Structure formats: C-alpha cells, structure tokens
Structure 1
Amino acid sequence: MAITKKKLEADISEEFIRLQRDLIGRGPQETRTYILHDMVIVRFKGVLTVEEKHLVASVEGRKLVKHARQLLREMYSKKFEEIVERYTKCKVLSSHSDISTNIGERIEVFVLDKDLEKMLEQGL
C-alpha cells in the first residue's frame, strides 16, 4: 500500500520534533511539513527557548540568537537531510534554513532530486 502525502508529511514532522527534543531539550510548539513538487518544506512555530526570548528583545540579542541557530543548523544539517531522504526515498540536492526571531519561527526547505508530490499522486 502506497503512503499518502498527508501521512508522509505527518511522519516527517514527528521525526523532526523527536530530533529537536534530543538536540535542544525541547521541541517546537507546532511543526508542519509540506510536500510541494520537488521540495519538502518544514515550518516550526514556537522554537525560541525562554533565554532566547529575552535575548531577542535587543538588536544584539537577535543577531546572537540568529547566529547561534545558524551554527547549530550547520552542525546538524546532515541529520536533517538524512531524515528527509529516509522518509521520502529521494536524494536531497540542497537544503536551506532561516529563523525569524520576531515571531519565533523556523523554516527548513529541502530540494529533492525527484518530484515527490507527483510520485505520491501516482501512488509510487
């Protein structure tokens, strides 16, 4: 039986939540994954720790939080890509990340070697 797009999106979200709990000690308040053509987009809401929320009140603090999160992302980018590859059975060609310190949200975008959305529609 072929997996549905909705189920795959939910499974990827759950795996990212588990990984973040292991790495940071807490997960995001909400995680949603979207499969769109040859991309997997993961949106994390409520990602800032209590300490980071205090830091982002100043310009210097926002820069510090953003820089620290970028360094962590670089350290763990292979793990993130492995999750996407394991669940999608596609190769990740590139991945991109950004965090909004204004609203405490992070976005991960993974570009795949195949049109995963079309494959799921065709039941592959």
Structure 2
Amino acid sequence: MSKKEAAFNELVRKVRKDLFGKGPERIKTYFVENIAITILQGNLTPTEKFIARSPEGKEMVHTARTRMIQEVYAQQVPDGMEELAGSKLVHLFSDIKIEEDIAVSVFLFEKKIED
C-alpha cells in the first residue's frame, strides 16, 4: 500500500468514525485515473446490527448510512482530501451491503490522481 493510499484510508476512516462513532475495521483504496475506490469492511455498530435483524431495520440502516455519507461529503469535503488527491472532488457514490457489513465508496475527482 502506498503512502497516498494509507493517508486516503485514514481520511475516510476518520469521517466514518466521527459520523457513526465507529470506523471500519478494514479499509482498502484503489486509485484508477481520476477515481478512488474504497472498500470498507466491519462498518456497523452493535446497535445497527441489532436494528438490522429485521427487513425494515436493514432498510433503515442502509438508507441512513448511504444518505448520511453522501450529505456529509456534499456539505464539505474532508480536510486534506482534495490536496492529497491533487484534484477537486466532483462526486461521491456510496453503498453498503448490510448482510455482509461491507461498503463501497467511489470518489470521482476532476483530474487524474497522481502517485
């Protein structure tokens, strides 16, 4: 893992921890051209796991997680992220699979992310 990937992982982890009270247990980022693809495992809090035991609860946790992440990034890009990427963040796409406790975030930047 490059220093840039490790630093990007820490930025993403901090946002999740600050927002949900728990960061992912494992995180891996891949840079491809102007895209950062981040895979996060072990995201859910014990409370979210409890809520997600019913179909309605799964939907509620899924909706809360995906909307909150997208709203946070829409309001303000985390400090240092655009400097690290060397480009402006244009879009964030995010989803989580509750059953497997795995999430994916795709960050789309204006320009290619340099190593």
Range class of TM-score, shorter chain: 0.7 to 0.9
Structure 2 residue ranges without an equivalent (≥5) = none
Bigger fraction of residues in helix: 1
Say which of 89, 97, 108 aligns to 2:86: 89
Query: What CA distance in whole angstroms lies between the structure 1 residues aligned with 2:112 and 2:86?
Result: 11
Query: What CA distance in whole angstroms lies between the structure 2 residues aligned with 1:112 and 1:39?
Result: 6
TM-score between both structures, scaled by the size of structure 1 = 0.80
**Equivalent residue for 1:16?**
12
How many residue pairs were aligned?
A: 114
- Correspondence 1:110 to 2:101: no
- Please identify the structure whose Cα radius of gyration is greater: 1
**Equivalent residue for 1:43?**
39
- Correspondence 1:64 to 2:56: no
Where 1:26 maps in the other structure, the secondary structure is coil
Query: What CA distance in whole angstroms lies between the structure 1 residues aligned with 2:59 and 2:79?
Result: 28
Contact 1:81 1:92 in 2 (8 A): no
Structure 1 residue ranges without an equivalent (≥5) = none
Tell me: CA distance 1:59–1:80, structure 2 relative to 1, closer, same or farther (3 Å).
Answer: farther
Contact 2:77 2:89 in 1 (8 A): no
The list of structure 1 runs, each at least 4 consecutive aligned residues, that deviate by more than 6 angstroms after superposition, is none
**Equivalent residue for 1:6?**
2
Identity rate of aligned residues, in percent?
A: 27
The offset of 1:81, in angstroms, is 5.9
Aligned-residue RMSD, C-alpha: 1.9
TM-score between both structures, scaled by the size of structure 2 = 0.86
**Equivalent residue for 2:73?**
77
| Paired residue type of 1:57 | R
Say which of 24, 28, 34 aligns to 1:28: 24
Contact 2:16 2:23 in 1 (8 A): yes
Tell me: CA distance 1:81–1:108, structure 2 relative to 1, closer, same or farther (3 Å).
Answer: farther
The offset of 1:6, in angstroms, is 1.3
